[in-house]
Amino acid sequence: MSDARQEIEIEVLRYHPEQDKNPRYQTYRVPFAHDTSVLQGLQYIKDHLDGSLTFRWSCRMAICGSCGKMVNGEPKLSCHTFLRDYYPGKLRVEPLWHFPIIRDLAVDQTDFLEKLENIKPYIIRDEKKPVSEGVYRQSPKELARYQQFSQCINCLLCYAACPQYGLDSDFQGPGIMALLHRYNSDSRDQGKDQRMPIVHAEDGVWSCTLVGYCSEVCPKHVDPAAAVNRNKVNSTMDYFLRFLSPRGANS
């Protein structure tokens, strides 16, 4: 930031549960250069202007998924969003929508993490083969069926983009459904029967009304809206095919 020439106003949502009943906004003037990210702007505030500002971050390179914030009302990875794009206007940084605020820009992710555990986001085998028998092989074509969904970094931007999750957090939500679909679509996995009840439930795919914004905001180009809506097709097939097959459908 040594070559900083310009200053931009950053308005940040503040909430300290010990003192504040409601969140408030605080504005800071931050110097920036061409390559200063929103995250670096927040770090400047913390290091030079107000050490009490709380926010999450880790890798600074759009891979860890920790630094998601609302920037002027859009869910963004703050390390992957640049102050220059908002100048000469100002920007407002808020915690991700639809999550409870713990402190300033940090939200409570407990709900997502519990849901993540429930979908068993790992390869399930009926019988595990010993390491001595080698790896589970997969063709490039089989990989292509789920690869985009495996790019999810759990950053929660899609949840901040989903009003249905905001209105009813029982909904599994876009990211969870993308990850569930990732494992169900993996040719090495045999755990589909364990995951499909989560898909079929009212709070599974059927709470989605295809707003579609989740897929637009994903920084890793995952298409959660497709994962959810393809599973609506699967769930419908399963419903009707059970009349034909006594064991239920091969959805």
Q: Catalog residues that contact other proteins under the rule CB under 8 A.
A: 15, 17, 20, 22-23, 73-74, 97, 100-102, 108, 110-111, 140-141, 143-145, 161, 163, 166-167, 209-213, 215-216, 223, 225-226, 228-230, 232-233
Q: 125 near 33, Cβ under 8 Å?
A: no
**Helix residue ranges per DSSP H, the chain:** 38-44, 110-118, 140-144, 157-160, 163-167, 174-184, 192-200, 213-217, 224-241
Q: 231 near 196, Cβ under 8 Å?
A: no
Nearest to 181 by CA among 224, 130, 140: 224
Half-sphere exposure of 154 (CA within 13 A, CB side): 14
| CB closer to other proteins out of 6 and 164 | 164
Whole-number minimum distance, CB 75 to other proteins, in Å?
A: 10
| CB closer to other proteins out of 73 and 89 | 73
Q: What's the CA dihedral at 195, 199, 204, 210 to 10 degrees?
A: 130
| CB closer to other proteins out of 6 and 148 | 148
| CB closer to other proteins out of 11 and 74 | 74
| CB closer to other proteins out of 15 and 57 | 15
Whole-number minimum distance, CB 127 to other proteins, in Å?
A: 29
DSSP state of 128: P
